[in-house]
């Protein structure tokens, strides 16, 4: 299959790649760039485990073709920590016991980050609504929502 050129920035790093037209953003991130934080859960955009930020907005990378991300800035969970320090949202997840098996965690973090970039003072109902499209089989969502609420202090910035 013919490969097409793709210019993309991932976690602040610019890439010039050649990709097949049917390659998903998730495949590009995991297989080509070795960024394995985004997970393929359902492959149908239902579970949210593959969520990343594209220009600050959460997208399901299993449904997004890599070429659709041309010229975009992609942030994965690996891009949240900076200089060896966790993002305040990541730390809040740890502090509130919002991580159990961890399979859904990166998607939850990226959706929450996207929400707080748009609405830095998001309340309980906005947080619950944003996270409602994710499947977590371990925590029951309460600790996850509490962790996001605790991180709502206006200090979250996209890196």
Encode the chain (159 residues) as per-residue pLDDT tens digits. 899 999 999 999 999 999 999 999 999 999 999 999 999 998 999 999 999 999 999 999 999 999 999 999 999 999 999 998 999 999 999 999 998 888 899 999 999 999 999 999 999 999 999 999 899 888 778 999 999 999 996 444 444
**Residue where one domain finishes, among candidates 79, 107, 127:** 79
Q: Are 127 and 145 in contact (CB under 8 A)?
A: yes
**Partner residues linked to 5 by β-bridges:** 18
* 69 and 105 housed in the same domain: no
3-state SS class at 44: coil
Half-sphere exposure in the Cβ direction for 149 (13 Å, CA): 14
Dihedral Cα 65, 132, 154, 56, nearest 10 deg:
10
Residue keyed to tokens 């619950």:
128
* 35 and 97 housed in the same domain: no
Query: Which residue intervals of the chain are DSSP H helices?
Result: 25-27, 88-95, 105-118, 124-131, 142-151
Domain containing residue 26: 4-79
* 38 and 94 housed in the same domain: no
* 73 and 94 housed in the same domain: no
At 9 the pLDDT is 98
**Residue where one domain finishes, among candidates 25, 49, 79:** 79
What distance separates the 2 farthest-apart alpha carbons in the chain?
Answer: 48
* 140 and 106 housed in the same domain: yes
At 138 the pLDDT is 84
At 154 the pLDDT is 43
In a domain, residue 19? The reply is yes
At 153 the pLDDT is 60
């Amino acid at each position: 299959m013919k490969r097409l050129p793709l210019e993309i920035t991932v976690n602040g790093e610019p890439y010039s790649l050649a990709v097949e037209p049917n390659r998903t953003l998730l495949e590009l991130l995991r297989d080509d760039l070795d960024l394995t934080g985004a997970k393929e859960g359902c492959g149908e955009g239902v579970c949210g485990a593959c969520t990343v930020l594209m220009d600050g907005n959460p997208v399901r990378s299993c449904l997004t073709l890599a070429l659709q991300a041309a010229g975009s800035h992609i942030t994965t969970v690996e891009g949240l920590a900076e200089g060896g320090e966790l993002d305040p949202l990541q730390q809040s997840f740890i502090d509130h016991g919002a991580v159990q098996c961890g399979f859904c965690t990166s998607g939850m973090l990226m959706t929450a980050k996207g929400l707080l970039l748009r609405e830095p003072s998001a309340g309980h109902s906005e947080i619950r609504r944003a996270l409602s499209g994710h499947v977590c089989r371990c925590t029951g969502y309460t600790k996850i929502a509490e962790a996001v609420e605790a991180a709502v202090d206006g200090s979250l910035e996209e890196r």
